[in-house]
Chains A and B, each alone.
Chain A
Amino acid sequence: MIEVENLHKHFGSKVAVDGVSFTVKKGEVLGFLGPNGAGKSTTMRMVTGFLPPTQGRVTIGGADIEANEIEAKSKIGYLPEAAPLYSDMTVEGFLRFAAEMRRVPANEITAAVNKAIETTFLEPVRHQSVDTLSKGYRHRTCFAQSIIHDPEVLILDEPTDGLDPNQKQEIRQLIRRMGETKAIIFSTHILEEVEASCTRAIIIDRGRVIADGTPAELMAKASNAGIVTLRARGLAGSGIKAELEKLDVVASVETIASDENGITARITPAKGRADKLSTAVFGVCKDKNLSVEELRVEEGRLDLLFREITKTDADK
């Protein structure tokens, strides 16, 4: 549905986006991660056709966003980062306007508006002026605008920004549900959101894609992924440690507690061997007849990966 090829954007001498490529198919929810100023919003603005790219190509459902502007744009629903609204309209008036602009047939507008209001929980403020809305309602009104024409492609720039935890939860579920039939890109700072609603995630830093994969794949890349915590008894701690260090799947063993009768340790796997580690550790315990009180494999943490890869890049 969404194809982005080698997208570049320069603002004067500043390079905001530097060769970003990805595709999003129908049924995929792509999470866009990255530090502030990484080029997330600029990329989304180019995908939606608001900013013309300096170089590169965007096609939406086969239609080029520049050459075939109107056709491509009619397939997109877009929630800009600032959730802009016309302050002199009511919520319903604004959504009617959006429906007309997004080419909803005249006789279906009322139904479309009602559905969008229902989906985004706007009923209580339906007739209220946009001016008087709280931030959460403003955000949802703009969100409603983006889904009013039931688009094939949804591009949401920080859709949960400014919402309370319950609303965040609702919006995440909504994104996940809509993702089954649409192609969705959404950006966020909140890493749990990626795990909660994305089928795939991209991490962008300084205008470049530095990681791309399913949330599970990305989490496996974090430095804590596959670390095994072991609490075992039956031998002196130093002895167990020495045994563990002999394994070729082990990079290092960090002792948390140790005495003459046992050990609690965090075992870091050697690069690329995380999947073999727990079996090997368990094998050692069996050979030495140790009683294993705890053996736990850590899941990679996305926030750790995020910090690691965005930081190392900045240090260069």
Chain B
Amino acid sequence: MDAFITLILEFAIPTLIVSAIFVAILFYVLPREVRTIFKRELKSYFTSPIAYVLFVVFLGISGTLSFFFTGVLEGGEADLFLPYFQYLPWYLVLIAPAVGMRLWSEEQRLGTLELMLTMPLAPWHAILGKFLAAGVVLFAMLVLSFPIVWTMNFLGDPDNGVIMAGFVATFFVALCFLAVTSVISAITRSQLVALLVSVALCLMLWLGGLPHLSELIMNLKGGWLVFWPILKLVNGLGVMPHFTELAKGVLGLRDIVFFLSFITFCLFATSVAIRLKRA
């Protein structure tokens, strides 16, 4: 029973508060156009099988693999951070592009882009509305993985603050991947191309932050130095260090600013991609 109350206090209520804030922003801060696009997009995720399939895949993979391959159950300390959250971004490299691939390529394939862009709305309304809808799908995915948290709380007495931080960090990474996918899907009308290219980029974005890469860059010599700028850029954009910091429970302003500016930049790039498509 105690575990149950803890769960409600430490997870359900914060989740509800965050959701409520989001809904309030959606209804009272953002323009009606954003809301309309958001509603349509979210509905279309759930009228097609996509969302359900991705939920099952994500929950299946993340749940089972985390438990069986990382030995949470065997370890006496049910510290969720290491086994579970370390692997989540790897799945998201695949899942986030799968959620986001249709955002703009579907619009181009159906020809509805022409309809949307001749309606009285600014492109950022549509870009933001769509991004938020896909973000909510990813959010719902993370929320639905609560049985894992539940299990942990029944098995032991984990630091729920750290778990929460892990989820927050994971969500930010997911949004980054989604933002990258948004740009790519604006470039191509093929969802498959959007998926493959986005997965590759997200993987690069994730691995770019590997500590080994930073070491490698430090030790570049001779002719290899020509690669220095590009490696430095990839390394600088790498989300891994920011993720690790956040997930440790260190709510560093620096990391949050990194995530938010990265997402903003990608959404801006999406608008540029759409503009170029039209010209």
Contact = CB atoms under 8 A, between A and B. Distances in A.
Interface of A: 45, 48-52, 69-71, 73-74, 76, 78, 80, 82, 84-89, 97-98, 100-103, 142, 145
15 contacts: A51-B279, A52-B279, A70-B122, A80-B114, A82-B114, A84-B112, A89-B47, A98-B119, A100-B32, A100-B36, A101-B33, A101-B37, A102-B119, A102-B120, A103-B120
B121 interface: yes
Given A49-B117, A82-B111, A88 B48 contact: yes
Nearest to B46: A88
Interface centre among B44, B48, B114, B122 (most CB of A within 10 A): B114
A305 to B, nearest CB: 31
A28 to B, nearest CB: 21
A84 B110 contact: yes
A84 B111 contact: yes
A150 B101 CA distance: 35
Q: Which 4 pairs show the lowest CB-CB distances between chains A and B?
A: A84-B111, A74-B120, A73-B120, A48-B118
Contact of B47 (A45, A71, A88): A88
Contacts of A80: 111, 114-115, 118
A89 B37 CA distance: 13
Interface string B3-44: 000000000000000000000000000001100110010001
Contacts of B36: 97, 100-101
- Give the interface residue-count category, chain B: 20 to 34
A87 B120 contact: no
Interface string B250-279: 000000000000000000000000000011
Interface string B122-145: 100000000000000000000000
Nearest to A99: B36
A73 B114 contact: no
Interface in B66-84: none
Contacts of A45: 114
A69 B48 CA distance: 33
A52 B278 contact: yes
Contacts of B118: 48-50, 73, 76, 78, 80
A76 B279 CA distance: 21
